[in-house]
Amino acid sequence: MNKDNDVFRGAPIITRACYTILRRLVSILMRYGMGYPEADEVLKRAYVDAAEEDFKLPGKSMSAIRISILTGINRVELTRLRERSEAIKRGLESWSFLNRATAVVNGWVHSKQYQDKDGHPIDINLNGKVPSFDGLVKQFSGGMTTNAVLDELISANTVRQLDNGKIRLLKTVYCPAETSEENVTMLGSMTSHLIGTIGHNMLGKDLRVQLELDRDRVPESVAAELKDRATTELNEMLVRLDNWVIDKSREYHKRQEAQSGIKGSSKKPALRRVGVGVYFFDETKE
């Protein structure tokens, strides 16, 4: 990724840091079918939420003008975002963004001209009159070339070209990669925890532990051994810390219950969600 550093020569350091984070994240988003239009919508909403929640002025309500000043999003777009959010909450609209490969697959699945009499997707010729793959791409992809879409769908095991030259749809949903919902959830939660800790420490107050071992020119055999040692030793450390937190929290809540009937002890305890995260990284190109 260092080859792209020249693009940001002279840019603020926060811009370069932003690119470094997004470059990794975008690769994952593309792997699971999220295109730029959807990511753009999510980013706008994140900017608005951050402005409303993290940049309030004491004693003042957050106005659309101030949100626009903070985020750079114009007020017309802010109104659209709010109206769409309300429509989604009320069930009047759904969150729907189709990348171009997905649009082609959806057209194949839902258009009658690409279905048999039972409503199932039919095998289609690569070129020629509709129904054909070329016609499908022209109708639904928004200007992409036939070969580019075909190559992408084949690489994602969504279609297959048969011996007779026809194209067969193998999956009714396009997804470049598959994973469990739990892994996707962890992508959001664990990344958020790490960035939140780094952002907190950048303020320079009440610092939280933020440590990293980073070594270059490590032999492959040593890297493999480090991965095994880190997995074993850090797992043992987390288990010890978790057991300690459970025991200490149990003792605290027992004391609170014992004092609940004592006069003047009705003050609710301050409870927080905390944790410790560890990870192993390998910068080797996969």
Q: Which amino acid is at 136?
A: L
Cβ-in-10-Å burial (0-12, 13-18, 19+) of 41 comes to middle
pLDDT at 74: 95
Measure the CA–CA gap between 23 and 259, rounded to whole angstroms: 53
Q: CA distances (Å), 54 to each of 59, 62, 70, 105, in order?
A: 14, 11, 11, 41
Question: For residue 54, which phi and psi values (nearest 5 degrees)?
Answer: -110, -10
pLDDT at 1: 46
Pseudo-torsion of CA 65, 69, 74, 80, nearest 10°?
A: -60
The model's pTM is 0.72
Question: For residue 125, which phi and psi values (nearest 5 degrees)?
Answer: -70, 155
Run means of pLDDT, 10 residues per run, the chain, 286 residues? 68 93 92 86 94 92 93 95 87 68 86 88 90 90 86 88 92 74 86 95 95 94 96 95 94 85 64 93 78
> Token match 């014992």: residue?
258
pLDDT at 214: 95
Q: Where are the domains of the chain?
A: 2-96, 100-169, 211-259+273-286
Lookup: tokens for 125: 């010729």
pLDDT at 55: 94
